[in-house]
Chain A
Amino acid sequence: MEWVQQLVNGISLGSIYALIALGYTMVYGIIKLINFAHGEIFMIGAFVGFYAISGWGLGFFPALLLAMTVCALFGVIIERVAYRRLRNATRIAALITAIGISLLIQYVVIYFRGAQPEAYPNVLSNRSFDFFGAQISSQSLMILCTSIALMILLQFIVHKTKIGKAMRAVSHDMDAARLMGINVNTTISATFAIGSALAGAAGVFFGVYYTKIEPLMGVIPGLKAFVAAVLGGIGIIPGAMVGGLLLGVVETVVSALGYSLWRDAAAFIILILILLFKPSGIFGKNAREKV
């Protein structure tokens, strides 16, 4: 029964990775950029949530919404200021800029508030309850349910709304999308907004789950979410979800087997294996040339 418990823990950790991975994959899908500043947006989300809860006394859901909104704006601004002018530059130039932005955000945050960690307030009641003999924490369950709701909402936006269809069109063929009358800049901004909002939500969940946040907290989860996105197939939205969940479960299983020191290594071993044996990821097809 301990296994059920570990599985639930793994899935809720995985859903946090999945939320971050979605932003990576959406941005990559539309402008072919690995946005390495994405982990920092996640960190900003965690801090906005922290200040909203402990400073202003907001509840979990208002704080979550606030963090998502701030992160959405933040993502749009980063794209507007840093990436838009590099759209026709080489991909390596944009990638280096992304790493630069990532460092900039980390150290601006440290400059203003210091590097000391912060203890996340207890905003969700954490009761354990018995589920067929397994102890499941209500916190894990809450995080899992909210993440799933956000992912369903995302699927709805991408497949059923006009902006979602525009996003898919731009990611497939930017010029053809222009010919349909789609404003490519607005569509890319919307993609950054949505991806960043999800990272902001992940930041709040992470804070609630691990109770400790600090300005460099975005680095490792950011990299792991990147692994998750590659695992599922970068640029493919369901791939990011599955990749994130899978990675969370693998990490928890590795810990549960008594190799908790190897937990972080597991993610990167997966990355190496994926790149060696199936670089296009679980859901990726081998790129076909258009005829």
Chain B
Amino acid sequence: MNAKLKETILNPIFKGNPITVLVLGICSSLAVTVTLKGALVMALSVIVVTGISSLILSLLRNTIPGRVRIIVQLVVVAMMVILVDQILKSFEATYAIDKQLSVYIGLIITNCIVMGRIEAFALGNTPWPSFLDGIANGAGYGIILLIVAFFRELLGSGTLFGFDILNRFGYVPNNLVILPPFALILLGCIVWVQRSIQKDLQEK
């Protein structure tokens, strides 16, 4: 059981990463990775939403009427997303980031990772593993977000977390890197790297 729990946690981080292997949550990973700060807040928000929604729905799993299963999931996920948005709005430190991420926080509702993991895991497992599965999938998503944002902020603005890095050496920020297509190119490169390490993902 312990090995299985470990597998639940580690699998989504690399081998079964929601973005690079399951190809879920691509849209927001292109949109919110212009700065590391934005990506970090987005990653944490998704971790909280996936973790707690999985936990709640796993607790309810035996009572949910089969025919309205998806609607019940949607209501719980939507509640979590609105809570996260409201909380981000009420702190001075996160208000500006929440404004910058604008619609994308709200759109966590439509992030396939959340509903996908609830359907595939939380409804068939006990609360503790479901909670860990949600957290781990959120983290797998967050790691990719941070990698993409690292390169985009470094090359697109010459900064990291808002601190001048390349700018100090007279670097001229590249505008292409700021635009979403470059995030897709980066994402493609990450998938390429992962597939050359993990040979079993390669199609024959």
- Physical interaction between A and B: no
